[in-house]
Amino acid sequence: MCRAAASVSRQLSRQPDQIRDIKAYLRQTFKRLVLNELEKENGHRDKLKHAENEPAAEYLFGHHEEDLDRKILTQQIIWEMDERAREVFELLAAGHSFEEIAVMLGQPANAIRSRFSKQFKKIRKKLRS
């Protein structure tokens, strides 16, 4: 939050007439900083940038300001995934079906779907508490 406040203060001193609602501006700046940190920690920035261009992943990676919360939540979910679930998630985001992923990984599609679903339910439960 301190970094967001410092950034907003710098921007306010440079262009005082550009910021009309300082609370909203600070909130958005903070959200962007949180998202950037989560992306760094996840180490998947390049993969996610590539996935953003896939039509099947548009609902996860929208480019509108109101989607910032969804992007943060997506990064939190990715952070909580184990390596296997993360790999499946990235393939799904790239537009592959579970059947295609099964061929790639050499495992039955229903087993991959089941493990991914269980992992996702576990993460959902953890994030809700």
**What is the pLDDT, as a whole number, of residue 109?**
93
Predicted confidence at residue 49, as pLDDT, reads 58
Long-range contacts formed by 67-75: CB under 8 A, 24+ apart? 68/28, 68/31, 68/32, 68/35, 69/31, 71/35, 72/31, 72/34, 72/35, 72/38, 73/127, 75/35, 75/38, 75/39, 75/42
User: Which span out of 49-63, 65-79, 91-105 was modeled with the highest average pLDDT?
Assistant: 91-105
**Digit-coded pLDDT (tens) for 26-57:** 888 888 877 777 776 666 555 555 555 554 45
